[in-house]
Amino acid sequence: MLTCIYATKEATKKKKSKLYVPQIDCDIKAAKIINPEFIAKCPSGCQDVKYRVYGTDIYASFSSICGAAIHSGTIDKSGGKILVQKVAGQSGYKGSFSNGIRSLSLPRWRESFIVSEGKPKKGVQYPSTLEYSSSSNTPVKGKCKIFCWECVCVCVCVCVCVVFFHIQLHLHYTYCKVDLSFLIDGSWSIGKRRFQIQKQFLKNVAQALDVGPAGPLMGIIQYGDDPSTEFNLKTYTNSKDLQNAIEKILQKGGLSNVGRALSFVNKNFFEDANGNRGSAPNVAIVMVDGWPTDKVEEASRLARESGINIFFVTIEGPDENEKQNVIETNFVDKAVCRTNGYYSINVPSWFSLHKVVQQLVKRVCDSDRLACSKTCLNAADIGFVIDGSSSVGTGNFRTLLQFVANISKEFEISDTDTRIGAVQYTYEQRLEFGFDKHRTKQDVLNAIKRINYWSGGTSTGAAINYAFEQLFSKSKPNKRKIMILITDGRSYDDVRGPAAAAHQNGVIAYSVGIAWAAQDELEAIATDPDKEHSFFVDEFDSLYRFVPRIIQNICTEFNSQPRN
């Protein structure tokens, strides 16, 4: 915190001071500035394509502020004063071309802003200096500068400065955004002194995270015989209030029923009414003194399948003589999101718990590593291979497309979640749209509707090869490659070779046959076991029956992956 006290003649005058309008650069994004509402001045030249803008009228905070101002028509390319107001995040942002700037679409973002003419509102005080979320060179009032190296700060300006320092962790995780639940051990085995150490650890984590509406939110559940919520995600929205609340937590006592606590979290904690934001990963950190007094495996599995990233911090685990008392051996590996050591931290003594604060916060804030946020509905590249041969007919082709749309609707679609692509084939093949073409569910559904019936022969083997080259060879490394092939007849070419090649390259293939489709070919195309990946109906109007089965099989297969 920096306080500057001025001692100038001008400061003693009771004359109304003119509003000082801070200038921002073209590349400054709204997310970089903490102030919820402010007036700023944009320079000229911010219409360059390198200053990305996302949305129309309401912009994602990931956008260049000045680029958005030009796009909205508030200013032109020569720059000028603008009023910026932060608003809630949107479920989708539509790109458009306006005033010489092409804005991009975005599936969702945690925060938005709107831009208007830079005139002050009556009765509103605007900051003369903008507060940046992280910067090694942050301006302060009166054209002061603070220069920071590590934890040493020097203030250079004509004023008196008082600097209050926070621990260095505070500087490192500004862009962390998670919805975090701490499950703290309130059992009698922990004792009063260690319970107090546990609370101090939580306070250190809260400070390091820098809790706030645009960043991480944190709630706490205490468990003993039964779990109970001390406070949820929306109860406290800053670190200071959260730390004060942690200090007031009283120990419950009882056993260490961790499994029961994880079931409680899964069923009750991450609800919209409790402040769950949807756009932030769900993380549960379980503190365990020694070992649980109930089983955790089943409760953990259900929580992971709900997309909750489970971390364990175990303190003073059982020694060789005590291991016979542990109800569930290897309980940590049975519980955590992945068994590679990333999601578990073992601390040999309560008195060294403070040493793992930075390590834990860094892991929790690395959203790219939070693998359990990936579910069967948001972690795939799904390519539909659609038979457009003459035997299908125009009416049945529309029914077939509705089947494709009904499956697609079940997935969370965006550039970072599940992506959808489609190929239509006869003797030849046509890429209707690739995985990178449409970034929202509605765009995908509209694209499916626009697919025109082709008509021709049936070369299914060539279509599988084409789909691999045009779709699956361009899949992202962290995506599951799923092919759903729909046909109504026997192929004129070999399907076994192309299907085997696709399987060997990691494509999970589902085959759906109608009417005259050959059962032996459907089984050859499908990934083993055939009964879970191959389907047949007598008529097109019955296709809809397979939608829930295909979704269920995709999810069952996803959830059965090894966790290493």
Buried b (16+ CB within 10 A) or exposed e, 222-234: bbbeebebbbbbb
**Is the pLDDT confidence value at 5 over 90?**
no
Position 146 scores a pLDDT of 35
Highest mean pLDDT among 274-283, 437-446, 471-480: 437-446
**Is the pLDDT confidence value at 190 over 80?**
yes
pLDDT, tens digit, 9 for 90 and up, residues 74-84: 999 999 999 99
CATH number of 2-6+18-165: 2.170.130.20
Instruction: Give dist(CA 555, CA 560) in Å, integer.
Output: 9
Per domain, the residue ranges of the chain are 2-6+18-165, 179-373, 380-559
Averaged over 349-366, what is the pLDDT?
A: 93
Q: pTM score > 0.75 for this model?
A: no
**Is the pLDDT confidence value at 376 over 90?**
no
CATH topology match: 179-373 vs 380-559: yes
Domain 179-373 class in CATH: alpha beta
> 559 or 218, which is more confident?
218
Handedness of CA 62, 66, 71, 77 (dihedral sign): negative
Highest mean pLDDT among 143-152, 160-169, 367-376: 367-376
**Is the pLDDT confidence value at 161 over 50?**
no
Averaged over 358-369, what is the pLDDT?
A: 89
CATH number of 380-559: 3.40.50.410
pLDDT, tens digit, 9 for 90 and up, residues 303-322: 887 788 999 999 987 767 66
Helix (H, G, I), strand (E, B) or coil at 495: coil
**Is the pLDDT confidence value at 165 over 80?**
no
Q: Which two tokens stand for residue 282?
A: 């769900």
User: E strands of 97-243, at which residues?
Assistant: 97-98, 101-102, 111-117, 137-140, 144-149, 152-156, 160-163, 179-185, 217-223, 228-231
Ramachandran region, residue 467 (left: φ > 0; alpha: ψ -120 to 50; beta: rest): alpha
pLDDT, tens digit, 9 for 90 and up, residues 35-82: 889 999 999 999 988 888 888 999 988 899 999 999 999 999 999 999
pLDDT, tens digit, 9 for 90 and up, residues 382-415: 999 999 999 999 999 999 999 999 999 999 888 7
Instruction: Give dist(CA 465, CA 461) in Å, integer.
Output: 7
463 — pLDDT class (breaks 50, 70, 90): very high
**Is the pLDDT confidence value at 423 over 70?**
yes
